[in-house]
Structure 1
Amino acid sequence: MRTKSRFSAMVALAAAVSALVGCGAGQAEDPESALRAYARALEEGRSDDAYRMLSDEARRGISPDAFRRMLKDSPEEVREIGRALQRPTAPPVVTAVVTSPSGQELELVLEKGKWKVESNAIDLYAQDTPRHAVQGFVRALERRRYDVILRYVPDAHKEGLDSAKLKQAWEGYDKEEMSQLIAALRQALPAASIEEAGDRATMPYGAGTMQLVREHGLWKIEDFD
């Protein structure tokens, strides 16, 4: 069961990124063409062709042998995924993510042949993804926006807590620890690998790990050690 779950996640990732990759020997003209070609390769069991359609990032996460093995171990599931991918329920959305040296991500979306900046460029304290939550948390810490930091505190830890108490602790006896935390998170963010499992996520940084939890659709900082 665990193997199948991992495989399904990998295929979902591959389908998402394959829209921007070359298709077989030629070059896909649009996302729909790339998706259809990838789906056909899965349905027909052509693992090598499907693997060639993965992005560089996806291929770094899985070797050709491991990809072939996963397709061979779950042939019925692979064929069903291939058939499902050929029945899209909505037009594909082509996006791109630009990452600054500090780790700040800016998402763009292709609309009517032109690249447009997505809304996360406006929301400095977004909580829609674990990475955005960490970025917003770090930004709030740097700007001493303790009122904003409260947004990142899970409900279970909020009782008796307010911005004044956060300021007193983090600019007082915890000041040095907070400075080290900000520096470590800033250094880790650009290349950090964030693992998601349902409503929980983890991000390694320095010698520690940040724990995140999703509440009411928003990602919050549960702990950092």
Structure 2
Amino acid sequence: MRFRLALVALLLLSACGSGAYVQQGPSDALRAYARALQEGRVDEAYRLLSDEARRSMSLEAFRRAVKENPEDVQEIGRAIARPAADPVVTATVTVPNGEEIELVFEGGKWRLDAAAVDLYGQSTPRQALVGFLRAFERKRYDVILRYVPDAEKEGLGGLGGGAGEGSAPGEGAAGEGAAGSKRADAAQLTPAKLKAAWEGAQKEQMQRIVQAIKAALPTATIEETGDSASMAYGAGGTVAFLREHGVWKIRDF
């Protein structure tokens, strides 16, 4: 099992660095590798691996692994000889501000993924945070509301909980009739309320938080667990994410 996992890992590494991917399709490279293994042409199979893969395992070690695990080698060869479809080869580049740009290898060339033109994307926690920061810098409070979970939009606390004026968190939920409706409207988070809070009493606090997040983002690790995610920043700060309606939002920071 250890050999099998190592060999599969080496094959995946070769997808990112082998010259074969520039000269032929991914499926052609997979089939060539499978045939070489099945026919015992170990040195030829080894040459199909990327520079990084060959650095992690010498030719001698590769020969020995193939010789000592013939059944596993044949099984791997059969499994990858006929892929269902060409695999999609992608690369992720992190730019200095922490934003991740996805590229796709198509027709022998690297092309930018559609997300590269989505300034306020929400497909990943990192993309949501970058979009939020961009909206904050441009004072696009209408856009910022996209990143606020539904509960916080209703004034129940979290990201927008302090932006309401003269209403207690969740007050509207307990009201009845016309009075309850008015309280619910008062608790509703709006771009105007965010602007008043974040350019008013909370301005310095928000500036400190945003600067700390921006400083941490380029090297930060975002931990995902189901529909929740978190990213540590600064001296004990944490950005909490929530996936809602299929997109990522910022629950708190």
TM-score by length of 1: 0.66
Give the counterpart letter for 1:103 in structure 2. G
Do the aligned residues in 1 keep the contact of 2:228 with 2:243 (CA within 8 Å)?
yes
**Cα distance 1:14–1:133, how it changes in 2: closer, same or farther (>3 A)?**
farther
**Cα distance 1:145–1:14, how it changes in 2: closer, same or farther (>3 A)?**
farther
Name the structure 2 match of 1:206: 234
Name the structure 2 match of 1:116: 111
Residue in structure 1 matching 2:129, options 120, 127, 134: 134
Q: Distance in 1 between matches of 2:85 and 2:26?
A: 12
**Cα distance 1:14–1:210, how it changes in 2: closer, same or farther (>3 A)?**
farther
TM-score by length of 2: 0.59
**Cα distance 1:161–1:18, how it changes in 2: closer, same or farther (>3 A)?**
farther
Name the structure 2 match of 1:215: 244
Secondary structure in 2 matching 1:128: coil
Q: CA deviation at 1:177?
A: 1.1
Q: Does 1:105 align with 2:100?
A: yes
Do the aligned residues in 1 keep the contact of 2:223 with 2:231 (CA within 8 Å)?
yes
Secondary structure in 2 matching 1:144: coil
Q: Distance in 1 between matches of 2:31 and 2:211?
A: 41
Name the structure 2 match of 1:145: 140
**Cα distance 1:15–1:185, how it changes in 2: closer, same or farther (>3 A)?**
farther
Q: Distance in 2 between matches of 1:102 and 1:195?
A: 19
Name the structure 2 match of 1:19: 15
How many pairs are equivalent?
A: 180
Q: Distance in 2 between matches of 1:213 and 1:13?
A: 32
Alpha-carbon RMSD across the aligned residues, in angstroms, is: 3.7
Name the structure 2 match of 1:72: none
Q: Distance in 2 between matches of 1:16 and 1:96?
A: 13
Secondary structure in 2 matching 1:20: helix
Cα deviations by residue, 1:120-147 (Å, 9 ceiling, x for unpaired)? 1211000001110010011111111100
Do the aligned residues in 2 keep the contact of 1:127 with 1:133 (CA within 8 Å)?
yes
Name the structure 1 match of 2:196: 168
Do the aligned residues in 2 keep the contact of 1:18 with 1:34 (CA within 8 Å)?
no
Cα deviations by residue, 1:152-186 (Å, 9 ceiling, x for unpaired)? 00111111101000111111111011111111111
Q: Distance in 2 between matches of 1:16 and 1:169?
A: 50
Give the counterpart letter for 1:109 in structure 2. V
Computing the radius of gyration from Cα coordinates, the structure with the larger value is 2
Unaligned ranges ≥5, structure 2 = 1-7, 38-45, 57-75, 155-187
Q: Distance in 1 between matches of 2:193 and 2:240?
A: 22
Secondary structure in 2 matching 1:92: coil
Q: Distance in 2 between matches of 1:162 and 1:17?
A: 48
Q: Distance in 1 between matches of 2:189 and 2:246?
A: 22
Q: Distance in 1 between matches of 2:229 and 2:83?
A: 29
Name the structure 1 match of 2:209: 181
**Cα distance 1:115–1:211, how it changes in 2: closer, same or farther (>3 A)?**
same
**Cα distance 1:173–1:100, how it changes in 2: closer, same or farther (>3 A)?**
same
**Cα distance 1:128–1:16, how it changes in 2: closer, same or farther (>3 A)?**
farther
Q: Percent identity?
A: 53
Residue in structure 1 matching 2:85, options 87, 90, 93: 90
Which one has the bigger helix percentage?
2
**Cα distance 1:37–1:212, how it changes in 2: closer, same or farther (>3 A)?**
farther
Do the aligned residues in 2 keep the contact of 1:19 with 1:35 (CA within 8 Å)?
no
